[in-house]
Structure 1
Amino acid sequence: MGVGPRARPCWHPPGPYTDDATTVGSTPALSCKGVTLTATQSLKILLVGGSGFVSGALARLALSYGHRVWAVTRGQRPLAPGITGIVADRRNRPAFAQAIANTGARWDLVVDCVGFEPDDAAQDLAVFRERAEHLVFVSTDFVYDPDHRRFPQSEETDHYLSEGYGGLKRACELVFLQAETKPLAWTILRPCHIYGPGSLLGCLPLHSRDADLLARLRRGEPLKLVGGGHFLQQPILAADLAATILSCYGNRNSHGQIYLTAGPEIIESWQYYQLIAETLGVPLQVEEIPVGQFLAEQPDRRSFICHRIYDLSKLRTHSLHSPATPIRDGLRQHVTSLLEQTNHAI
């Protein structure tokens, strides 16, 4: 099948974007033209899962502001220079708590980048209630029941998933919503598809986080996309998500709140792959996988086959950082980083 008109533009959701400097909590920011936040105070920040994709972007941004950064990991991958490592497996609950206690530290901000079971959220509250001022939990936009989504979808709904990845993340959210958390303040973010250096590319089956994606495109291999890639996406660059996370600190509006976090442009999924192909200088070919066929063969992946477009007005109203990196620019960064790993050039 064809991939649609190449000239079809990305759609920008309406909103009060501005190029003027604004104050986000204790952090001045530009709400457009990329991530340009500047710190006004040095924070002590702990990342739970600090060697991963999102946490890596967050650590780099925090360190660039002069913040002090700790990371809890299992010690299986090296940490970036400047990060203080704490080795612990969070699934060993007593050992995790002891490792945190042994530091004798208290943090301004704790960010859980990897929790996805209710016990993880309960652990966050038990361990950090008296050791941190603010905790940000990274959830997912897949908490919504795909059969009851609105377009655009806001934070509020009566229809959440109760099973699978999204159901587990929603169960984590409920731990925060239903528990007594004081004196710890918390914020939950629900990011859309996250992309950027440090991760694999791909936003839709059969090419989600596809390690061979660039090679497939260069070989001229058709990409097999469910529904021909016409599902809408609102991808967010990891650096933008990191800036939004940091903007939660010092902003009382964010305490006890849940926010959708997505990029500034809405595109069809095939356009995501088209932009990657254009960066490589090769054509895109798409082979459609009928939605019904895919769901019949893989019913457990139903929640991943849907439009993912969001109302970000709450994020802006509460003066958090609004992601603003154009998808074309962000994907070029991502493709370039992957090519550099293999010594290829664009």
Structure 2
Amino acid sequence: MSTRQEVVVLFGGTGVIGRELAQCAQAGGTSVLSISLDPDHDTAAYSNRLLDLSTAPPGAISRLLEDHCGTSLRVVTMVDVVGLAPHRIDEVADYAQRAGASVAMVSSSLLYRPKPDGIYDEAAEVVTPDSDLFPYQRLKLAQEQALSKRSDVAWRIFRTNHVIGRGGLLGCIPDHNRDPDLLDRITRGAPLKLARKGKVQLSFVHARDLAEGLLHLCAIETTAQRVMNLVHPVPALASDYFQLLAYHLGAPAPVIEDYRPDDGNFWSLTAADNILVSQRPELDQLRFQFDLGGALRDALQIDPGSYASFGSFLAQRIK
């Protein structure tokens, strides 16, 4: 009797997080199917299928998965990286229920209701649909609600904050969140305008550590139907973040000017301390490869001329 090859399905598998998830899954001996806007592509143990999830007809995901897997592949985990619309999440969960697969979602710490100390565990209060929310928050909340209502599926929601990786835009607080001009500004010695002069604490994680942690936790039964905060255990100080960037670029330490963001701007949410901790004992097993300096150093291992072209999808989605 032949054994079906296990496959991890990634929705949005060609971005910063998706690429690391694919590499980690393959390193563990699992095949990968990415569903994204990139052209169809096949290599050993990896496939990408082009599907516009914003316009595809109902049932398109299930048909694609059934055609791809046939009788030789078995879906074990499906990971929503890109942020599927709630009705798509229902379709994914329906397929997972039939296939006996689990579903994981990468979500955001910006769903926690702000509080003075800026420290959030999984029991912290979350914003509600009747709150005054930015579109990004409203969408993320609806996505989480669509998945967490499914008692018939082994789902897991991973809330994270400021993911750093190759191909992602850098900059962690106003007025330089995900700034395509940031590296050029630092190299030129231009001053940086930072909320609270950079004295903002925030959690971060390198995309590879996020990927390895997510896949590890998805294999543990006791984490099913749980929300988990997944970040590096040591938060960063924003001013240190920008100083380290300058150091790795071989530039002088930037001059930092105080900046007060407009409350009506989405990025104003990141002007307050945002420190994630976890109550889940399973996270104590995780080992993180990248501290802040290592994460930034790795993120800079790209062609400098290409930096500003990365992250355009994120820039379009977040408002």
Separation (CA, whole Å) in 1 of partners of 2:287 and 2:40: 31
Q: Which residue of 1 aligns with 2:20?
A: 57
Q: Which residue of 1 aligns with 2:257?
A: 288
Separation (CA, whole Å) in 1 of partners of 2:155 and 2:289: 24
Aligned-residue offset at 1:289: 4.4
SS across alignment from 2:158: strand
Compared CA separation, residues 131 and 226, structure 1 to 2 (3 A): same
Aligned-residue offset at 1:48: 0.9
- Counterpart code for 1:174: Q
Q: Which residue of 1 aligns with 2:66?
A: 101
Compared CA separation, residues 286 and 319, structure 1 to 2 (3 A): same
Which of 82, 87, 93 is the aligned partner of 1:125? Answer: 93
Separation (CA, whole Å) in 2 of partners of 1:57 and 1:101: 25
Compared CA separation, residues 202 and 225, structure 1 to 2 (3 A): same
Q: Which residue of 2 aligns with 1:215?
A: 184
Pair 1:309-2:272 in alignment: no
Q: Which residue of 1 aligns with 2:142?
A: 171
CA contact (8 A) 1:197 1:338 kept: no
Aligned-residue offset at 1:89: 1.6
Separation (CA, whole Å) in 1 of partners of 2:269 and 2:85: 18
Pair 1:335-2:303 in alignment: no
Aligned-residue offset at 1:189: 0.2
Q: Which residue of 2 aligns with 1:66?
A: 29
Separation (CA, whole Å) in 1 of partners of 2:249 and 2:110: 30
- Counterpart code for 2:18: S
Q: Which residue of 2 aligns with 1:157?
A: 124
Separation (CA, whole Å) in 1 of partners of 2:252 and 2:302: 20
- CA deviation map 1:223-267 (0-9, x unaligned): 222222221112100000000111023211110011001113222
Aligned-residue offset at 1:320: 5.2
Which 4+ stretches in 1 moved above 6 angstroms?
Answer: 77-81
Aligned-residue offset at 1:77: 8.5
**TM-score w.r.t. structure 2 length?**
0.83
In structure 1, list runs of 5 or more residues that go unmatched.
Answer: 1-41
Q: Which residue of 2 aligns with 1:140?
A: 108
Aligned-residue offset at 1:150: 4.6
Q: Which residue of 2 aligns with 1:259?
A: 228
Q: Which residue of 1 aligns with 2:242?
A: 273
SS across alignment from 2:121: coil
CA contact (8 A) 2:62 2:92 kept: no
- Counterpart code for 1:63: Q
Compared CA separation, residues 88 and 270, structure 1 to 2 (3 A): same
- Counterpart code for 1:156: A
Aligned-residue offset at 1:332: 1.1
Pair 1:197-2:162 in alignment: no
Separation (CA, whole Å) in 2 of partners of 1:78 and 1:87: 9
- Counterpart code for 1:121: I
SS across alignment from 1:187: strand
CA contact (8 A) 2:117 2:273 kept: no
Aligned-residue offset at 1:311: 1.4
Aligned-residue offset at 1:166: 2.2
**TM-score w.r.t. structure 1 length?**
0.77
Compared CA separation, residues 167 and 144, structure 1 to 2 (3 A): farther
Aligned-residue offset at 1:117: 3.6
What is the total number of aligned residue pairs between the two structures? Answer: 294
SS across alignment from 2:300: helix
Separation (CA, whole Å) in 2 of partners of 1:218 and 1:79: 39
Separation (CA, whole Å) in 1 of partners of 2:157 and 2:244: 31
In structure 2, list runs of 5 or more residues that go unmatched.
Answer: 308-319
Separation (CA, whole Å) in 2 of partners of 1:90 and 1:248: 27
Compared CA separation, residues 318 and 331, structure 1 to 2 (3 A): closer
- Counterpart code for 1:227: R
Aligned-residue offset at 1:170: 2.0
Compared CA separation, residues 130 and 150, structure 1 to 2 (3 A): farther
Separation (CA, whole Å) in 2 of partners of 1:214 and 1:85: 31
SS across alignment from 1:107: strand
Aligned-residue offset at 1:338: 4.6
Aligned-residue offset at 1:331: 1.1
Q: Give the CA RMSD over aligned residues.
A: 2.5
CA contact (8 A) 1:144 1:161 kept: no
